[in-house]
Structure 1
């Protein structure tokens, strides 16, 4: 009898101890639009430059995660031309819908071969796993 109770408790504790999978660990893919902005002091609390590869995360995801994505890496793809870069979350974008992101000018230029006149393009992205 003791062995059965011990086994049941052991299994139950393993279930309780199992970590909750975050969006970053599940590698959720997001789709939206990319725009760009002149960077400065971001919602994450540090100063950025236009030459930094950073993004402003849409408010829905930024607020859902309580701003905990600050500094988190993202793999970002221009779905029109297939170009992919790595960027970091440094700000919040209250005007971005769903999976849309606001990019620093250098990140935007890297995905459009320097064509800033494009103004907006479709993207796909996911958080990189934390190490």
Structure 2
């Protein structure tokens, strides 16, 4: 789904998971860990649209509207979903989170929420030159795993949420080797064969190679469960 076509809201359940931690940083009760550069500064342009917080990345609408849609090329099949970006414009600066795709935008172009655009330029200008840099996000609490509506032991789709760093890949196993779930453009990792009945493990890898491993009790339908840890701001 492209910008302006939002997924239905989902129900969250505070189910806690056991952890086999491979590499992670701690997290406190308040949001922290943001602002560490994850790449080089880029030049581009900014426009704005009527953002709700939802969009092609499949996140739920509402809450913080310091959000943006990434141009089609750099959206990279949803690899930047949930990534944070520091933007500097003619009026000031703002940090936004990528929640959507702008299919008509060229490389370097960010389509911001009206609220975020107003931080970097006068709204009446509509389109301005900016510089922007991908950075770690300020988050509180652990990563979360959201099971898409319709998920079951025989067709399973999982989205990683509340992550400090962009997600590189998601894998699962019961016994034996790890198996990759396929990343889809709507920001879910999917196995059309499902992960089967009962307990299984997930291993999530961040863009810098950090990994977290969690044990989940079973596949759920349209519910969210907490992991046990969060990625560090940098490896």
**TM surpasses 0.5:** yes
Work out whether residues 77 and 123 of structure 1, in 8 Å CA contact, stay in contact via their aligned partners in 2. Answer: yes
Is this contact kept in 2: 1:50–1:105, CA < 8 A? no
Q: Which residue is equivalent to 2:44?
A: 32
Q: Is the 8 A contact 1:39 1:50 kept in 2?
A: no
Q: Distance in 2 between matches of 1:49 and 1:121?
A: 26
Q: Distance in 1 between matches of 2:101 and 2:131?
A: 18
Structure-1 residue corresponding to 2:108:
99
- Post-superposition offset of 1:54: 0.4
Larger Rg: 1
User: Could you tell me the TM-score, scaled by structure 1's length?
Assistant: 0.69
What pairs with 1:51-130 in structure 2 (closer than 5 Å)?
52-63=65-76, 66-78=77-89, 80-81=90-91, 83-112=92-121, 115-129=122-136, 130=165
Specify every segment of 5 or more residues in structure 2 that has no aligned partner in the other structure, as ranges: 1-36, 137-164, 166-232
How far is the alpha carbon of 1:48 from its aligned partner? 3.2
More helix by share: 1
Q: Distance in 2 between matches of 1:50 and 1:109?
A: 17
RCO higher in structure (CA 8 A, sep ≥6): 1
Alignment RMSD (CA, Å): 1.9
C-alpha distance in structure 1 between counterparts of 2:63 and 2:119, whole Å: 12
Runs of 4+ residues over 4 Å off in structure 1: none
Tell me the secondary structure at the aligned position of residue 62 of structure 1.
helix
TM-score, reference length from structure 2: 0.40
Secondary structure, aligned partner of 2:108:
coil
Q: Deviations over 1:54-88 (max 9, x none)?
A: 0100010112xx3121111111110x34x111110
Question: More strand per residue: 1 or 2?
Answer: 2
| Gap runs ≥5 in structure 1 | 1-23
Partner of 1:48, secondary structure, is: coil
Shift of 1:107: 0.1
